[in-house]
Structure 1
Amino acid sequence: MANPAKAKGTAWESAWTAYIREHHNPSAHRNVQIGAKDIGDVSGYYLHAAELKAEKTITLSSYIAQANREAVHAGQPFGCAVVKRRMKGTADGYVVRDVATDVRLMNRMRDMEDALQDAAFDRWYALDKQHREAA
């Protein structure tokens, strides 16, 4: 690849997609870029359009604006920027959302947890325990 910056971005997208496949969703995949109606760099990060960035200078405001636009195009409720941390591995990168998006996500999680507790408390309890132990 003639463009080193593009090669770095492609490598980050590939590494993050592999990480998400292993730890989150085996069917996650990189998206083909489609111009004005772009749907994010990677699909398969649950409920999110993920915009991946591996740049020397980090500009969160533009990343978040782009991720939020792409979430609308992808039909996803949440957008996030996944930013490579320099000199670190994939798991050390950053997933970034604006506060409004994060509050909407937390409200959804709260409401879904309440609903699961009401419908199947034993299942909720087992999942809660599993996730607390994994932390």
Structure 2
Amino acid sequence: MGSKDIGDVAGYYLHAAELKAEKTITLSDYIAQANREAIHAGEPFGCAVVKRRMKGVADGYVVRDVRTDVRLLNRMRDAEDLLKEYQFDVWFEHDRHHREAA
């Protein structure tokens, strides 16, 4: 979409996702592009989805810069704190489920 590109795929929750499958990986370029596209798309986060050579997409990487990752984790923490405060039983089951999945 040119100078106002909004990412390569829709539906990656809260993210503008830049998809890459290249022989030479340049993370800094991918992240800069994803962050620009997040602004254009009105999404709070940008990330690059990088396919590994000779592997399936599920074996690839999702990459974001530390600044973006901290903002994402802070958002998740704040959301969990709100849920814990207002619906403790729901939060407790949510937390238990995700701890077991790890």
Same-fold call, TM cutoff 0.5 = yes
The counterpart of 1:100, out of the listed 63, 67, 70, is 67
Aligned to 1:74: 41
RMSD of Structure 2 on Structure 1 (CA): 0.9
TM-score, normalization by structure 1: 0.73
For residues 108-127 of structure 1, the C-alpha deviation after alignment (integer angstroms, 9 at most, x for no partner) is: 11111101100111111111
The counterpart of 2:54, out of the listed 87, 94, 110, is 87
Structure 1: gaps of 5 or more residues: 1-33
Q: Which structure's relative contact order is higher, taking Cα pairs within 8 Å and 6+ residues apart?
A: 2
TM-score, normalization by structure 2: 0.95
Count of residues in correspondence between the two structures? 102
Aligned to 1:65: 32
SS in 1 for 2:53: coil
After TM superposition, the structure 1 = structure 2 runs for residues 27-38 of structure 1, keeping only pairs within 5 Å, are 34-38=1-5
Structure 2: gaps of 5 or more residues: none
- Identity within the alignment, %: 79
SS in 1 for 2:62: strand
For residues 31-69 of structure 1, the C-alpha deviation after alignment (integer angstroms, 9 at most, x for no partner) is: xxx211010001111110000000000000000000000
- 2:27 aligned with 1:53: no
